[in-house]
A and B are shown apart, each in its own frame.
Chain A
Amino acid sequence: MNLVFDPAWLPRLGQGVLLSVQLTAYCMGIGAVLGAVLGLVRVYGGGRWSPLYWAASAYVHFFRGTPLLVQLLGIYLGLPTVGILIGPFLAGLLAMTLNTAAYQAEYFRGAIQSVKSGQMMAARALGMSRGQAIGHVIMPQALRLIIPPWSNELIYMLKYSSIVSMTALRPETMDLFGVARSIASRNFRYFEVYILVALFYLAMVLILTVALRWVERRVRIPGLGTPGRGI
């Protein structure tokens, strides 16, 4: 068994890393905004029977309960059949964003609900409106509590970005794994290429883990939340 690694692979894999990071960053950013809104609606959007609560819950259940791959292919292959043309990169980004928004909504909900109820009461007693209380008192605390689950989600999405190239192997969807597939399909060095790519992902996960722990420590406030959990 002799293994062959070719340094010529590296620049292309580097390009792939860039696209994977981009996809992950965009979907996590937009997903955080959507997730925060959905989470707020699930907590403050009226009772169990308000249409807003119901819609947000249906959304969260649907996107958490179905495979990302089904969502991706539904969007990439399904939308054009109803006249909505969408390229593979955008389809991948859209699927990942809609998916992570549902998961992040649950993290936001959990974080908001774990802020003690007295905090809202004290804010209202000072004369703050509900919106002010959420903005100045509840969310600043929830945002700190959400860092550990959010870090996990970020790493999940980085790994899941590897499925966007399953739509079509086109240059614009050449994420890290897509590049690996295209290299391996030409030289048949599957094992070497995929092991190398696995190490690339591991390195990215390691860097993110360390960076997020650092952020968590930077914004930590005594008495709020627990020390970071391992990822």
Chain B
Amino acid sequence: MNLSAWTEIAPHIPVLLRGILVNIELLLGLISLGLGVGVVTALVEVYGPRPLGWAAGAYTWFFRGVPEIVLLFLFYFGLSQFGVPVSAFFAAVLALGLRSSAYQAQIFRGALQSIPHGQMMAARALGLGRVKAIAYVILPQALRLSLAGWSNEFSSVLKDTTLAWGIGVVEVMRQASYIRARNFTLTLPIYITVALMFLVLTYVGNVAIGLAERRLRVPGLEGRR
């Protein structure tokens, strides 16, 4: 690897950026899917009727125990085998999103369970129904408490979006392999550049979550760690 290889990287940067934009789209898609499904799963696990709680537990156990790449192949090739037309992008969001929902469910469940029992009692004593008590009293506290765990999950799924390369999504890893196919001497500089892009994204994301955490902070409501 010499210096000239590094100067030759410059013209390829826009292509890499276009690629990483797809990773960011994947990230936004999967993390919102994961958030929605995760919150519901956690609520069912904590407040739902027994059999439903068990089902939710089995669901999170499955998605936490199976490797991401297996899920990706299962959702993409497995669904197409039954004639369900899915794009690689959609399959990736679905597979990685459901996986993330299992992890997010675990984070929210921990947060829900750490809220003192008296909060629910006080809400019910006011005459709020169970659902309203959860929505207005428990959930706002639990969501704040889970921000710390959520920032871990964020940096983990951000990196896992590269796995979508395996089922053919044209994201940054795919763009990198196009570039190196044309000029293989660029291989190492390209991957190092991609690595640095992820470092920057992780950093920016964590700063943003940190800011959100500070904005949403309520005195007396802190994660117990």
Identify the A interface with B (CB < 8 A).
1, 61-62, 65-71, 73-74, 77-79, 81-82, 155, 159-160, 162-163, 166, 177, 180-181, 184, 188-191, 194-195, 197-198, 201-202, 205-206
Contact = CB atoms under 8 A, between A and B. Distances in A.
Nearest to A75: B191
Contact of B202 (A65, A73, A206): A65
A115 B113 CA distance: 27
Main secondary structure of the interface of A (DSSP, over half): helix
B150 interface: no
Given A190-B73, A194-B77, A202-B62, 6 more contacts: A66-B194, A67-B195, A71-B195, A177-B70, A190-B80, A191-B74
B70 A198 contact: yes
A97 to B, nearest CB: 17
B166 interface: yes
Contacts of A67: 159-160, 162, 195, 198
B173 interface: yes
Contact of A201 (B67, B79, B155, B185): B67
A190 B160 CA distance: 22
A81 B176 CA distance: 15
A180 B61 CA distance: 22
B191 A65 contact: no
B146 to A, nearest CB: 16
Contact of B199 (A66, A69, A194): A66
A81 B67 contact: no
Contacts of A202: 61-62, 65-66
Contacts of B202: 65
Contact of A195 (B74, B176, B192): B74
Given A159-B67, A159-B68, A201-B70, A190 B78 contact: yes
10 contacts: A66-B195, A67-B162, A71-B195, A73-B191, A159-B68, A163-B163, A166-B166, A190-B73, A194-B73, A195-B74
B167 to A, nearest CB: 11
B195 A74 contact: yes
A65 B188 contact: no
A159 B187 CA distance: 27
Contact of B188 (A62, A79, A155, A184): A79
Interface size class of B (residues with CB under 8 A): 35 or more
Contacts of B194: 66, 70
What are the 4 A-B residue pairs with the smallest beta carbon separation, nearest first?
A78-B188, A74-B191, A190-B77, A191-B78
Given A66-B159, A69-B162, A194 B191 contact: no
Interface of B: 1, 61-62, 65-71, 73-74, 77-82, 155, 159-160, 162-163, 165-166, 173, 176-177, 180, 184-185, 187-188, 191-192, 194-195, 198-199, 202-203
Contacts of B185: 81
A189 B82 CA distance: 10
Contact of A81 (B81, B162, B187): B187
Given A190-B77, A190-B78, A74 B70 contact: no
Contacts of B184: 81
A61 B81 contact: no
A69 B66 contact: no
B30 to A, nearest CB: 14
Contacts of A65: 155, 198-199, 202-203
Contacts of A195: 74, 78
A70 B77 contact: no
Contacts of B61: 202
A194 B77 CA distance: 9
Contact of A74 (B66, B68, B177, B188): B188
Contacts of B79: 191
Contacts of A163: 67, 69, 163, 166
